[in-house]
Structure 1
Amino acid sequence: MEREKTDEELLGEFQQGDAGAFERLLRRHRSPLYTFFVRMLGDRARAEDLAQETFLRIVKGSAAWEQRARFQTWLYTIARNLCVDAARRDRFRRAESLDAQDGEEGSPLVDAVPSDGASPDRAADSARLRPLLQRALLSLPAEQREVFVLREQAGLPFKEIADLVGANENTVKSRMRYALLGLRKALADEGVTAEDAEPEPPPGVRLGRA
Structure 2
Amino acid sequence: MFGIHDLGLFVFSGILFNLAPGPDVLYVVSRSAGHGARGGVVAALGIGTGCFVHIAAAAIGLTALLAASATAFTVVKLVGAAYLVYSGLTMILSFRKKDATASAPRTAAANGRGIYVQGFFTNALNPKVALFFLAFVPQFIDQASPDKAWAFVCLGLILTCTGTACNMLYAWGAARMAAGVSRAVRARALCTKGVGALFILLGVRLAFADNS
Same fold, TM exceeding 0.5?
no
- Larger RCO, structures 1/2 (Cα 8 Å, 6+ apart): 2
Q: Which structure features the higher share of helix residues? A: 2
For the aligned pair, the TM-score class normalised by the smaller chain equals 0.3 to 0.5
